[in-house]
Amino acid sequence: MWIGVISFISTILSQTPSLKKVQTKGHQSPAVIAGNNVTITYNYKKEDSAPQISLGIALYIYEKGFILYEQTMTYYTEMRNFVSNCSIYKQQLNNLPRKRTIIPEPGAWFLVKLRLENLSSVPLTNIRLGIYGMPLKFDNIVTTPNIKASLNYESTTNNGLGTYVVNIKSLAPNDTAIITIQSKINNQIYSEFIQKKCHSIVFPFIVSDQFKGTGINVKIIKFNASEMLKQEAELFTGERTIVNEKIEYRILDPKEPDIDERFIIKYEPLPAATKCPTGTAGNW
């Protein structure tokens, strides 16, 4: 059985509750090989055009954090390309009054963004996309508004390595959707990544109701990380932009008591991102 693998070299300085586990009999469905073109199987009516899929992937580290200095606080959010450790964007709120500012809870996440494009006039239904390889526990999935999807963890009876499965109800003809699966990480987990320079992501299968007959070509693309964010924002808001989040915070009313910093969640910021030349942050 063919298994799709994307390998990459990471130059970075680099849990959450597990999902409900479902036991299966193993990877019984066709699979994909990473590369320019790969073959899987499909089933369609002769009068319909053959279904074709393009699968793009980009990897990120997203962080929300703060720095305390004397009587002020700096709060920031940053998105970086995981592979190159280049900062794609960083926004800051400076000179916030210490002990008087309520900020979002800090944290860091590893994000896998998948761009799934139906290149044909055939609607795809009940899509199942398998993924494994990264030593992380993915527990959340976010999709663009044009699809509905869920994330399950499936163990196998003949394979010790379980698989995360993205389940997509349907993808319309000639439509594109972006799926994000994410795992909470901390400084220790992030720093351990640097010990292993080469990482692999495996796509053991991609199937749907239409993929049960003859072979078709599926393109797997190492997608530009900056372009992925722009296309995702456009699908959400109609505007092509990299940063479309708004940082919510509140300054305490003079009548409210100071925040006791002993009860603030202690967060150790991730090592600084690499300073990369303008325009190269999204490449890998």
Q: How far apart are CA 17 and CA 184, in angstroms?
A: 10
Q: Is 145 exposed, middle or buried (0-12, 13-18, 19+ CB in 10 A)?
A: exposed
Residue 196: pLDDT band with limits 50, 70, 90? confident
Q: Is 171 exposed, middle or buried (0-12, 13-18, 19+ CB in 10 A)?
A: buried
Residue 36: pLDDT band with limits 50, 70, 90? very low
Tell me the CB-side half-sphere exposure of residue 97, using CA atoms within 13 A: 10
14 vs 264, higher pLDDT: 264
Q: What is the pLDDT of residue 280?
A: 86
Quick one: CA torsion of 157, 161, 164, 167, rounded to 10 degrees? -30
User: What's the pTM?
Assistant: 0.82
Q: Do residues 65 and 232 lie in contact, with contact meaning Cβ atoms separated by under 8 Å?
A: no
147 vs 193, higher pLDDT: 147
Q: What is the mean pLDDT of residues 73-77?
A: 93
Residue 71 has pLDDT above 80, yes or no: yes
Best-predicted range by mean pLDDT among 112-116, 117-121, 254-258? 112-116
pLDDT digits (tens, 9 = 90+) for 82-102: 988 899 999 999 999 999 999
Query: Of the given ranges (11-15, 84-88, 221-225), which has the lowest mean pLDDT?
Result: 11-15
